[in-house]
Structure 1
Amino acid sequence: MPSRKKMLMFAAAFFTSIWSFVIVCLILATKNWASSEVTFTQANSSTVTVTIAYGIFEGVCSQIITGGVQMPETTFQVLDKLDNMETKSINVVIILLLILSLFSSLLSSGFTCSNTVCNPYQTFLGPIGIYTWNSLNGIFILLAMILFAANIEANKLSVKLASKCTFSTNQYEKSTSNYGYSYWIMLLILLLNVATVIIIFFYHRARYSEKKEQERPIENAPKDGILF
């Protein structure tokens, strides 16, 4: 049976891993990755302000025409609105990265849970596997954040989506964008990954020190404790 210390530390690592999994599920399901206000000019010189909020799958948009006339909100599918292949491809890559992150979080949770109730393996199922899956998870999340920001800043994702919510004859004028909680909460996933690795590292280091202490050469033992 594993020691109480080992059970507590791996249980703590399981807690951080499972929360990482839950948060990835949350950000996949929400549409609060970014919000923007995009202003277009109509042919008669009046303006239309499109307010848009979206995630990687779904979004909502509404229009306010000069004079305060507000159109009702409409829901749209992000991939259906994108006709630019580069922007669409990046969005698909982000989805794949988050699915891989979900998979690695699940594996990390499984490894930490199994090691809580049994002695740690000296193979990939032990600390090495936990380090690997949490490192990969962090890389997937970091890449997803970078690509999403690049899609907004470089490829004008908000403008492209907003243009599909208004008349095609309107001319783009200006826009402002903000990142939502679904985007920033990915930083918490990175922190949880780091926490999991730190917990297992300290356990592994303490166990290694104990093992070395037990294997101390006999010549270092007190002479009066040696029996011939």
Structure 2
Amino acid sequence: MPSRKKTAMFASAFFTCVCSFVVICVVLATQHWMSSEVRFSDTNSNVTVSLTYGLFSGTCEQLVDPGLQVSQMTFQVADNLNSTGAKSTITAIIVILVLSLLSSLLSSGFTCTNAVSNPYQTFLGPIGVYTWNSLCGIFTLIAMILFPVNIEENELSEKLAHGCFSFLTTHTKSEHSYGYSYWIMLLIVFLNIASIIIIYFYDHARYSKKKQQERPIENAPKDVILF
């Protein structure tokens, strides 16, 4: 059976891994990644399209000067995109977050296994926890980078606005605000770092104790040697 210290440390890491798993589920399930106001102009009026969307769906509404508002519409992100680049990037972000979810699940399993047993010398031990937490954090960071790239380089909001209202013509300006579904991915990274730190302190303490127990006899006190 594992020691109380080992159980407590790995149980703490298990808790952070489970929290990371839950947050990734929230990120995938909620559709508040981006709020955008996309402005268009034509010969008769100026039109502003207000968008709030995530990876799968969103809402849009049209505001026409001087204050005429069209009712809010719900749309599917994939259906509103004709651009291969923008659609491919959204798909890549979803796949990466699913991989992050699986990594977090495996990390939770490894920390739970270590909390109730002693797989010190195998990949099921601290090395496995380091690996899966690192992969989860890396995947999350990649998703956080790809989404703004899709917004700026592939003009995601503008294309979604055109998908909602195809008659819009000249794009003049866009304003973007990242929502909580995007920013809580930072929490995933911090939780993975916390898991790694917890296991590192345990592993380092165990290694130091093992080295002390293996000290050569010449380092022993002289009175012990004389005896």
Shorter-chain TM-score: which interval? over 0.9
Judged with a 3 Å threshold, the aligned counterparts in structure 2 of structure 1 residues 169 and 152 are, in CA distance, closer, same or farther, namely closer
Contact 2:40 2:168 in 1 (8 A): no
Q: Paired residue for 1:215?
A: 214
Choose 163-172 or 194-203, whichever is displaced more.
163-172
Q: Tell me the secondary structure at the aligned position of residue 93 of structure 1.
A: helix
CA-CA distance at 1:168 after TM superposition: 2.2
- Residue aligning to 1:30: 30
Shift of 1:102: 0.1
Shift of 1:165: 1.5
Aligned to 1:61: 60
Q: Displacement, 1:194? A: 0.7
Q: Which residue of 2 aligns with 1:6?
A: 6
After superposition, where does 1:77-96 map in structure 2 within 5 Å? 77-96=76-95
Consecutive unaligned residues in structure 2, runs of 5 or more = none
Distance in 1 separating the partners of 2:96 and 2:131: 16
Aligned mates of 2:39, 2:168 — CA distance in 1: 13
Percent of aligned pairs sharing the same letter: 62
Q: CA deviation at 1:169?
A: 4.4
Residue aligning to 1:114: 113
Q: Distance in 2 between matches of 1:37 and 1:223?
A: 79
Match of 1:51 in 2: 50
Aligned AA for 1:190?
Answer: V
Q: Secondary structure at the match of 1:2?
A: coil
1:1-228 correspondence runs (5 A): 1-42=1-42, 44-225=43-224
TM-score, length basis structure 1: 0.95
Deviation at 1:15, TM superposition (A): 0.9
Matched to 1:66, the amino acid is D
Deviations 1:91-130 (A, max 9, x none): 1000000000000000000000110111133111010001
Quick one: distance in 1 between partners of 2:44 and 2:71? 22
Aligned residue identity for 1:86: G
For 1:22-41, what per-residue CA distance to the aligned partner results, in whole angstroms no more than 9, with x for missing partners? 00000000111011001112
Report the alpha carbon displacement of residue 224 of structure 1 after superposing the two structures with TM: 4.1
* Distance in structure 1 (CA, Å) of the matches to 2:155 and 2:169: 16
How many angstroms apart in 1 are the aligned matches of 2:108 and 2:225?
A: 47
Whole-Å separation in 1 of the counterparts to 2:78 and 2:192:
30
The residue type equivalent to 2:218 in the other structure is E
Q: How many residues align?
A: 227
TM-score (norm 2): 0.95
Deviations 1:208-227 (A, max 9, x none): 01111111112322354469
Q: Which amino acid aligns with 1:153?
A: E
Distance 1:45 1:160 in 2: 22
Q: After TM superposition, give the deviation of residue 45 of structure 1 in Å.
A: 2.1
Quickly say closer, same or farther: Cα 1:171–1:117, change in 2 above 3 A: same
Structure 1 unaligned segments of length 5 or more: list them: none
RMSD: 1.5
Partner amino acid, structure 2, of 1:28:
L
Maintained 8 Å contact 2:80/2:164? no
Letter in 2 for 1:110: G
